Chain A
């Protein structure tokens, strides 16, 4: 077996790994009472220019895939199937 250095191994592992972030937030017309309470509290702390806060969820997702388009499709699929409830939530996928 051909031996490879630790650095090469690290590089090759990295090559096959893609990382995405997903943020899930409530849709605009859905009331977000938690965001509202956070907003009110920050305003009480003197943050005068604050006009809106919407609270959401954040996921970091790693995939063993080298094809970014394919991987991104998979992440979108994950969002639709489980991570977000499209009746009340929107999601955004970002490559990181």
Chain B
């Protein structure tokens, strides 16, 4: 079996609104291309699990060290907004799954509608997040203007944590909860934004007719990424908003 003498493998388009897919020259078959792409993406998702895993380990460590700080910190967050965002993300995960299904069955318009709704979910999620961050900023729990200022050695204070309502005064290291809250939701939010960008990119390809029953791998992979974003949030919601 020589690699040089075989012609490119082309997957025919299932209809006039679609374009054929040419299997990349370094793959022998469509199956090989699909499996290689998928295996690579699962490896990437495994590293994502480990990235967030480190943050979850930090959460559990400090929760155990300062349980009253975490319980009181969690009470400063609005669990109703958290629950609303959980529902938004679960719904968008469903529209994503339906979008992948529509691509698998060569339903171009339905794919675009479902993917568009998923992006809408991402936008609503980030808007709610913005409202939450603004409230924390106002109460001096996370002051975004001073986030990158250095530790003030003269006053012994963290510049981004002033807590001017004194809500965290009675517990040790009140800033620890908010530092972990911001880091975890911030990195998660970054994933939401990247995910939305990837979905828009997939929508452009769908509009061009690149994805259909014969070739839908990119839709499938972006779908996996979006479900991972949902997966992380499933754990963040009870840990941050309903601190056990």
The answer to whether A and B assemble together is no
